[in-house]
Amino acid sequence: MRTKKRVLDILWFVLLTLLTVAFLFPVFAVLINSFKGQLYITSSPFSFPTGETFAGLANYLNGIRKIRFFEAFGYSLFITVASVALIVLGTSMTAWFLIRNKSKFSSFLYYLFVFSMIVPFQMVMFTMSKVANTLNLENPVGIVLLYLGFGAGLSVFMFGGFIRGIPRSVEEAAEIDGCTPISKFFLVVFPLLKPITVTVAVLNAMWIWNDYLLPYLVIGSKYRTIPVAVQYLQGGYGSRDIGALMAMLVLAIIPIVVFYALAQKSIIKGVIAGAVKG
Amino acid sequence: MKKSFFRYFPIFVLPTLICFFIAFFVPFVMGIYLSFTKFTTVGNASFVGLRNYITVFSASSGFWRAFFFTAAFTLVSTLTVNFFAFLLALLLTRGKRGTNFFRTVFFMPNLVGGIVLGYIWQLLINGVLNSFGVDITFAAKYGFWGLVILTNWQLIGYMMIIYIAGIQSVPKELHEVAQIDGATAFGELRHVTLPLVAPSVTICAFLTLTNSFKMFDQNLALTGGAPGRETSMLALDIYQTFYGSVGQEGVGQAKAVIFFLLVAAIAGAQLYLSRRSEAKAE
């Protein structure tokens, strides 16, 4: 009996190790190819770089120059951080006000926000870029306002659901102490929202960091985020530089892996909570 | 009290609401209006009634081809992703050493953006097809299965995490009772685990369904719709109708409205089903 269990344990471990190798292989393949000369990537994509095929860092230097990678990284980072901060602040305040101010007008606005969750981006992509053009929002600051507006639905909904579960008595104590709604929100309510704030921040960060079409249409001609820059390398003029593409894929994955390593628990928790509610 | 509270509306709600109007509400209403017009920019729209919609449903617009491709892809990937994710979740809820490490690895691809995912898999799939002298743009079936494999790689870990949470919420006592009653491992799975993780199945099925149905970035990067526009799914087809040809903007916008209605119908079905199972549980 005991040996049978040992055998099963070993089988389990071997099977999952094989699966792990299979899951990591795609990223590994991109990594080894990023060190190979262009010609050898298409002809023998699954071989290791050797003396002849090894290209050193040439692909990386090429790619960084062609798509101005570090500039793109800067735009991606600024837009993601600023948008997430603004979404967390703006939508938590909005959700709290709309839930606590019980009126027909408030619930109408609340459901309008919720409704926007189900509208796919293609429905508004053309008109939104026209509106952005008219209002001079076609820059890294303007796009942050667009992310707040287009992302508000899901975040108001998630904050709203959480706020409904907070007993009013907690807030009433602050009212007696003579707090204004503003100090009450920031001193009493906002700290209570921490778990859902993490979820909202994680979900929005993943969306905005990886988003392609919105930044491409609105600011893509002047300011390229990482996904837009990677796609530009592919669709750009001249013959396709697959070596540079491989190197840039590696550089695009590194920040995500670092972020995942640092905040793994919050990310997984946030994604589960988001899935169950959304 | 109420009136004085409402004085704070401009501080709490107005900034977000203005952005919401700029980025969503105004474009949404304009989008519906433009679907009934012929236009190249917002300023020169002229009303054409239902003509755009009639064009969409005619054979030449490519809508039906994109629709059936999307429907087939969505069906296949929803089934495969959930099947494999559930198996993985079963393997990773046995309390063995190393479980956490494996979970972490399987979830990782979910964080990689669609454009990057598309090019990673283009390399791999073209690498394999290369030995047969073709590449992914050679025939629509290669693009189809390429997208299915990519979607599996991306979503299995995500769904696995949700299934794990569901399986772990099944009370231990139920398993013990089943074992005392002499249930086989399969019987235990069939009669104890499965009924209790049914809510997770609904959640995961709809998550995969919506994700696959609305897919754009991965489609653009992996095949770009090639050969021709044979592997363009609905979202990419709308984009190509808008920006790939002049004078088709109205038709593109009409396609977008139909796409929105389809997505809304899926969301409605999800809401209905989850409400119904909640009511049952009570």
Q: Cβ–Cβ of A127/B30 closer than 8 Å?
A: yes
Residue A201, chain B, CB below 8 Å: the answer is: no
pLDDT of residue A52: 77
pLDDT of residue B1: 47
pLDDT of residue A34: 92
B215 and B105, same structural domain? yes
Residue A20, chain B, CB below 8 Å: the answer is: yes
pLDDT in tens, A124-135: 999 999 999 999
Q: Cβ–Cβ of B22/A45 closer than 8 Å?
A: no
Collapsed DSSP state (helix, strand, coil) of residue B37? strand
A238 pLDDT higher than 70:
no
Highest mean pLDDT among A138-152, B166-180, B235-249: A138-152
B12 and B110, same structural domain? no
pLDDT of residue A173: 79
Nearest-angstrom CA–CA distance, A128 and A163:
31
Cβ A230 vs Cβ A249: under 8 Å: yes
**A41 vs B50, more confident:** B50
Collapsed DSSP state (helix, strand, coil) of residue B158? helix
Tokens 């081809």 sit at which residue? Answer: B65
B139 and B43, same structural domain? no
Cβ B24 vs Cβ A150: under 8 Å: yes
B245 and B106, same structural domain? yes
Name which of B147, B166, B129 is nearest B213 in CA terms.
B147
**Kind and range of the H or E element at B46?**
strand B46-47
Tokens 């095929």 sit at which residue? Answer: A53
Collapsed DSSP state (helix, strand, coil) of residue A36? strand
Residue A237, chain B, CB below 8 Å: the answer is: no
Domain count of chain B?
Answer: 2
Q: What is the mean pLDDT of chain B?
A: 90
Residue B269, chain A, CB below 8 Å: the answer is: no
Residue by residue, DSSP assigns B184-199 as -HHHHIIIIIHHHTHH
| DSSP code, position A32 | H
**Neighbour tally for B50: CB within 10 Å:** 11
- Quickly count helices (H) and strands (E) in chain A: 14, 0
Lowest mean pLDDT among A164-173, A225-234, B15-24, B32-41: A164-173
Nearest-angstrom CA–CA distance, B138 and B132:
11
Q: Half-sphere exposure (CA, 13 Å, Cβ side) for A101?
A: 25
Cβ B137 vs Cβ A270: under 8 Å: no
Q: Which A residues 140-199 touch B at CB under 8 Å?
A: 145-150, 152-153, 156, 181-182, 185
B150 and B42, same structural domain? no
Q: Cβ–Cβ of B162/A231 closer than 8 Å?
A: no
What would the mean pLDDT of A32-58 be, rounded to a whole number?
82
Nearest-angstrom CA–CA distance, B111 and A276:
18
Q: Cβ–Cβ of B109/A23 closer than 8 Å?
A: yes
Amino acid at site A42: T
B69 and B35, same structural domain? no
Domain hosting residue B265, numbered range = 53-281
pLDDT band at A1 (very low <50, low <70, confident <90, very high): low
- Give residue A14's region: left, alpha or beta (phi > 0; psi -120 to 50): alpha
Q: Does the predicted model carry a pTM greater than 0.80?
A: yes
**Neighbour tally for A148: CB within 10 Å:** 28
User: What does the domain layout of chain A look like in residue ranges?
Assistant: 1-67+237-260, 75-226
Lowest mean pLDDT among A44-48, A259-263, B214-218, B241-245: A44-48
pLDDT of residue A239: 67
B73 and B39, same structural domain? no
Residue B239, chain A, CB below 8 Å: the answer is: yes
Nearest-angstrom CA–CA distance, A106 and A120:
24
B163 and B35, same structural domain? no
Which residues from chain B sit within 8 angstroms of residue A209, using beta carbons?
113
B59 and B24, same structural domain? no
Q: Cβ–Cβ of A260/B111 closer than 8 Å?
A: yes
What would the mean pLDDT of B255-264 be, rounded to a whole number?
96
Which residues from chain A sit within 8 angstroms of residue B34, using beta carbons?
126-127
Residue A150 is nearest to which of B23, B112, B204, comparing CB atoms?
A: B23
Residue B10, chain A, CB below 8 Å: the answer is: no
What would the mean pLDDT of A56-71 be, rounded to a whole number?
90
CATH dotted code for A75-226: 1.10.3720.10
Cβ A271 vs Cβ B161: under 8 Å: yes
Q: Which B residues 166-195 touch A at CB under 8 Å?
A: none
pLDDT in tens, B149-172: 999 999 999 999 999 988 988 888
Residue B124 is nearest to which of A20, A29, A253, comparing CB atoms?
A: A29
B100 and B15, same structural domain? no
CATH number at residue B268: 1.10.3720.10
A211 pLDDT higher than 90:
yes
Which residues from chain B sit within 8 angstroms of residue A257, using beta carbons?
108
A29 pLDDT higher than 60:
yes
B159 and B134, same structural domain? yes
Nearest-angstrom CA–CA distance, A136 and A132:
6
B156 and B37, same structural domain? no
Residue A236, chain B, CB below 8 Å: the answer is: no
pLDDT in tens, B128-148: 998 888 888 889 999 999 999
Q: Cβ–Cβ of A252/B116 closer than 8 Å?
A: yes
Which residues from chain A sit within 8 angstroms of residue B235, using beta carbons?
120, 122
A45 pLDDT higher than 90:
no
